[in-house]
Amino acid sequence: MDSSPAIPRETAASLVFLRSEIPSSHPSAVVLGEERLGAGVAVAPDLILTAHYLVLGASQVMARGADGRSRPCPKVAVDHESGLALLGFQGPPLRPVQLGDSEQAKPGLPVFVLTCTDEQERKGATGHITVIGPFEAFWEYMLDRAIMTTVMNPGLAGAPLFDAAARLLGIVSLGLSAVGRFTLAIPVELFLRDREELASFEPRRSSRAWLGLYPQGFDGGVLVTGLVPGGPAQKAGLARGDMIVSVEGEKVGSLRELYSAIWTKAPGELVGLMILREGSLRSFAIRAADRYAFYE
C-alpha cells in the first residue's frame, strides 16, 4: 500500500464495498448498468456516504465491511446537485470516520484515498491536492468547489479522500485525464450542508430545471452529444449534434453558462433554447422536469 500505515489503520474499519442492483426499467440503467460496484465510508454508526450514481435507482444495495459481514441498505437518499448519496443500513454498526473541514483545504495539502477493488481487497494511494475550483460535467452537473488531486485511484469510485490526520475531506467521484488532476472528489462540506435533509430519507424535490441533455463544450459553443431517453429535451425534439446558441435569449458558450442559465428556471417551467441545426437556427420551448421525480 502506497502510504503511511497510520491512515489505513485508522479508517479501514469505516470503509465498505457496495453492490447495487438496478431494475432494467429504471432510466439510469441504460447508461450506468443494472449492477454497480463501488466503495463508501461510514459517517455515522448506521450511515454510509458514497457517490450517488452508484446507487441511483437501486432496488437493492448491500454493503460489506472489513469484518466480512454484509449489511443491507434499505434507505437510500441521493443528492443530484452534489453528486453524493447517503445510505442507511441494517446490521452491526460501523466505526464512523472523523469529518474534516473541506472548506479549509488548500492546494498542496497531502491527501490519501482508501478504496475497494472487490469485496475482499482494499487499496490506498497518496498524493496532494492540486486544484480546488469549478467543475462541470456533461450530465447537467456542476460544482463551484471540486477537489482535484494527483492521487491515482487504485480501485472503485465512492472512495473516501482523507487528509494526513485521517479526516474525511470528500468522496471520490471521477477519474480525470488532465495532467496533475487524476482524481476528482466531492467535498464533504456539501454533505454537511444537507446532512439533516438527507438523513431523513424523505422524498426530495429540486428547485432547478432539468432538461435531460448530455452537452459538451465545443469550439466556443455547446454541442448536444446525447439525450436522456424519455427526458424533456428528447420529447421537445432536440437531437444529437444540435448546437445550443442561447437560453432565453442569452448567448451561452460553455457548460457553466448553459447550466447557470437553465437553473434560473424551475421544474415545470418552459425553457427557451435557440439551436443551430444543419446551418439553420431553430427555437425550442422545453418543459423542464424535476430530476428527482424522473429518477425515482
Write down the CATH superfamily of domain 6-95.
Trypsin-like serine proteases (2.40.10.10)
Tell me, what's the pLDDT at 218? 86
pLDDT of residue 79: 98
Q: What pTM value is reported for the model?
A: 0.95
**CATH superfamily of the domain spanning 98-193:** Trypsin-like serine proteases (2.40.10.10)
Long-range contacts of 265-272 (CB under 8 A, 24+ apart): 265/209, 266/207, 266/208, 266/209, 267/205, 267/206, 267/207, 267/208, 267/209, 267/210, 267/293, 269/209, 271/209, 271/211, 271/247, 272/247, 272/248
- Residue 90: what pLDDT? 97
Cα distances (angstroms) measured from residue 257 to each of 232, 235, 244, 250: 20, 23, 11, 9
Q: What are the φ and ψ backbone dihedral angles of 262, each rounded to 5 degrees?
A: -60, -40
Establish whether domains 6-95 and 213-294 are of one fold. Answer: no
Ranges of residues in the chain with a pLDDT under 50 are: 1-3
Q: Which pLDDT does position 4 carry in this prediction? A: 52
Ordered by start, the domain boundaries in the chain are 6-95, 98-193, 213-294
pLDDT tens per residue, range 82-139: 999 999 999 999 999 999 999 999 999 999 999 999 998 999 999 999 999 999 999 9
- For residue 52, give the C-alpha cell: 450517488
How confident is the model at residue 1, as a pLDDT? 40
Q: What is the CATH number of domain 213-294?
A: 2.30.42.10
